[in-house]
């Protein structure tokens, strides 16, 4: 194909935040198709995150958000491998955005694995009761429940929620993008949401 224009590279960089050379390479590999190039870069991010999964993320930052009126606040800890990455604008912005996400969307936990088994069991029982009354075939119930559980994860697990600044992608997708861009393991360690008059 013809030489990839700098305008196209810049456009892809604006969309993904990836480095110039990575954007250029992705555009060559996708024959200049922006959408395919975005997918290639996301796959690369996921692969990089997988490679770094066993690294120790002992550095990081704590970010706070207080909602106007002082009735709602959020604290979050995000870990990475070095203090250099902890101080980058990318990670700081991500942490700020996640605080606002937690304030607005009230996740119960970070990952599906952290969900209270009793809560999940109760939800499954409610689903089974509803499905039993709907007359759906028994052999389809497990698949339907699996789909409904996936929806619950999207609602209450932070990394499965649509990202507040880009709802076409999950928080997990954005973490993978950051791992690819910054070259380090990034982990949401913990968060706390405080609301006056509400006991979580």
pLDDT of residue 200: 58
pLDDT digits (tens, 9 = 90+) for 112-139: 999 888 988 888 888 877 777 777 776 7
Give the pTM: 0.71
Using CA atoms, how far apart are residues 55 and 154, in angstroms rounded to an integer?
A: 27
Using CA atoms, how far apart are residues 60 and 175, in angstroms rounded to an integer?
A: 14
pLDDT of residue 95: 97
Hey, what are 115's tokens?
């969900």
Is residue 169 in a domain? yes
Q: What is the CATH number of the domain that holds 44?
A: 1.10.8.10
Structural domain of 126: 116-155
Using CA atoms, how far apart are residues 160 and 154, in angstroms rounded to an integer?
A: 5
Residues 147 and 166 in one domain: no
Hey, what are 188's tokens?
């949401």
Question: How many other C-beta atoms are found inside a 10 Å radius of the C-beta of residue 56?
Answer: 8
pLDDT of residue 52: 67
Is residue 1 in a domain? no
pLDDT digits (tens, 9 = 90+) for 75-99: 999 999 999 999 999 999 999 999 9
pLDDT of residue 146: 81
Query: 58 burial class (0-12, 13-18, 19+ CB within 10 angstroms)?
Result: exposed
Residues 145 and 169 in one domain: no
Is residue 43 in a domain? yes
Is residue 200 in a domain? no
Instruction: Identify the DSSP state of 166.
Output: E
Residues 102 and 166 in one domain: yes
Residues 145 and 171 in one domain: no
Of residues 146 and 87, the one with the higher pLDDT is 87
Mean pLDDT of 19-30: 81
Residue 32 has pLDDT above 60, yes or no: yes
Residues 133 and 43 in one domain: no
Residues 184 and 98 in one domain: yes
Q: For residue 12, what are the contacts with CB-CB under 8 A and spacing of at least 6?
A: 18, 23, 26, 27, 34, 37, 38, 41
Query: 127 burial class (0-12, 13-18, 19+ CB within 10 angstroms)?
Result: middle
Mean pLDDT of 186-190: 95
Using CA atoms, how far apart are residues 139 and 8, in angstroms rounded to an integer?
A: 49
Residues 70 and 100 in one domain: yes
Using CA atoms, how far apart are residues 84 and 86, in angstroms rounded to an integer?
A: 5
Residues 11 and 105 in one domain: no
Mean pLDDT of 177-196: 91
Instruction: Give the residue from 15, 30, 51 where a domain finishes.
Output: 51
């Amino acid at each position: 194909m013809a030489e990839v224009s700098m305008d196209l590279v810049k456009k892809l960089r604006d969309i993904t935040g990836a480095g110039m050379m990575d954007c250029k390479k992705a555009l060559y590999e996708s024959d200049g198709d922006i959408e395919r190039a975005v997918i290639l870069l996301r796959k690369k991010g996921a692969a990089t995150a997988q490679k770094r999964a066993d690294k120790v993320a002992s550095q990081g930052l704590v970010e706070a958000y207080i909602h106007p009126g002082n009735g709602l606040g959020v604290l979050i800890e995000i870990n990475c491998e070095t203090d250099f990455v902890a101080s980058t604008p990318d990670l700081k912005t991500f942490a700020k955005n996640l605080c606002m996400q937690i304030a607005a969307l009230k996740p119960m936990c970070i990952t599906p694995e952290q969900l209270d088994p009793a809560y999940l069991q109760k939800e499954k029982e409610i689903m089974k009761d509803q499905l039993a009354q709907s007359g759906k075939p028994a052999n389809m119930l497990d698949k339907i429940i699996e789909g409904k559980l996936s929806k619950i994860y999207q609602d209450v697990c932070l990394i499965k929620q649509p990202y507040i600044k880009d709802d076409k992608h999950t928080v997990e997708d954005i973490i993978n993008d950051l791992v690819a861009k910054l070259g380090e393991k990034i982990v949401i360690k913990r968060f706390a949401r405080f609301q006056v008059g509400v006991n979580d």
